């Protein structure tokens, strides 16, 4: 009997937490074979597993080697699911310049945000991690981006987000771009404080936020 999608998503999440790369791939293939939604499986399976792994790290149950094995499992699952995401084609593609701010090399969450945005019809220019403020601004101008999306996982680098907004203001081009922010220590109140246009808690919400910011359907 085919397994329900909830059960498969839970298995995916568990396989990531348990660092089982082969099992992650196997369950991801099952998701595809059963015709379940790949986007949903990434959000509620793989991303959920990585989120749980992060919590175990905080509780000192897991250390860096375990986390990296969890992320290997997550990426292996992504390789299976990504080609099966139902891409939404829009007329004009909205462009997002995305990156992790300077001083921070955590990029797992940023990569998930990228995949979900692309799946939803956005064109994403990925600047990678440890990106100086000026690079965001220059690239956004060059590609005439609609949105600048900033990620950080560390309290020590949150200020870099304000630097990007400050640069836009100094150049007199703040109004040309929407700025969205996210990552572990970021909150709506922080976003408000630095004058960002929006914050969201995870990759699926980031898509909703991006759509709202460019004025397309929810």
Which residues of the shown chain bind ligand B12 in the complex (CB under 6 A)? 47, 50-51, 54-55, 57-58, 64, 67, 103-110, 112-113, 149-151, 153-156, 180-185, 200, 202-203, 206
- Three-class DSSP category at 123: strand
User: Which is nearer to ligand B12, 176 or 202 (by Cβ)?
Assistant: 202
In the bound complex, what is the minimum distance in angstroms from residue 1's beta carbon to ligand B12?
Answer: 32
Burial state string for 116-144 with b = 16 or more CB within 10 A and e = fewer than 16: bbbbbbbbbbbbebbbbbebbbebbeeee
96 near 125, Cβ under 8 Å?
Answer: yes
Closest CA to 119 of 210, 199, 34: 210
Q: How far apart are CA 214 and CA 137, in angstroms?
A: 18
Continuous H helices in 96-187: 108-119, 133-143, 159-170
In the bound complex, what is the minimum distance in angstroms from residue 119's beta carbon to ligand B12?
Answer: 13
User: Which is nearer to ligand B12, 156 or 188 (by Cβ)?
Assistant: 156
32 near 80, Cβ under 8 Å?
Answer: yes
In the bound complex, what is the minimum distance in angstroms from residue 88's beta carbon to ligand B12?
Answer: 18
User: Which is nearer to ligand B12, 8 or 164 (by Cβ)?
Assistant: 164
141 near 155, Cβ under 8 Å?
Answer: no
Rounded to 5°, the CA angle 113-119-123 comes to 80
User: Which is nearer to ligand B12, 1 or 207 (by Cβ)?
Assistant: 207
In the bound complex, what is the minimum distance in angstroms from residue 50's beta carbon to ligand B12?
Answer: 4
User: Which is nearer to ligand B12, 36 or 199 (by Cβ)?
Assistant: 199
User: Which is nearer to ligand B12, 1 or 64 (by Cβ)?
Assistant: 64
């Amino acid at each position: 009997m085919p397994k329900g999608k909830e059960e498969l998503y839970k298995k995916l999440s568990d396989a990531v937490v348990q660092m089982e790369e082969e099992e992650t791939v196997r369950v991801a293939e099952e998701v595809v074979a059963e015709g379940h939604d790949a986007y949903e499986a990434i959000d509620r399976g793989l991303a959920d597993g990585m989120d749980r792994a992060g919590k175990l790290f905080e509780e000192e149950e897991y250390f860096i080697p375990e986390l990296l094995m969890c992320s290997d499992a997550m990426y292996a699952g992504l390789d299976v699911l990504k080609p099966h995401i139902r891409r939404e084609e829009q007329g004009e593609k909205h462009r997002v310049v995305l990156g992790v701010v300077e001083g921070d090399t955590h990029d797992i969450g940023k990569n998930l945000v990228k995949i979900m945005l692309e799946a939803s019809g956005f064109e994403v220019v990925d600047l990678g991690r440890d990106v100086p403020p000026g690079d965001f601004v220059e690239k956004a101008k060059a590609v005439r981006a609609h949105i600048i999306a900033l990620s950080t996982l560390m309290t020590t680098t949150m200020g870099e987000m304000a630097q990007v907004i400050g640069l836009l203001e100094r150049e007199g081009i703040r109004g040309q771009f929407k700025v969205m922010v996210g990552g572990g220590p970021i909150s709506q109140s922080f976003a408000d404080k630095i004058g960002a246009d929006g914050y969201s808690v995870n990759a699926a919400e980031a898509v909703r936020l991006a759509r709202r910011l460019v004025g397309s359907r929810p």
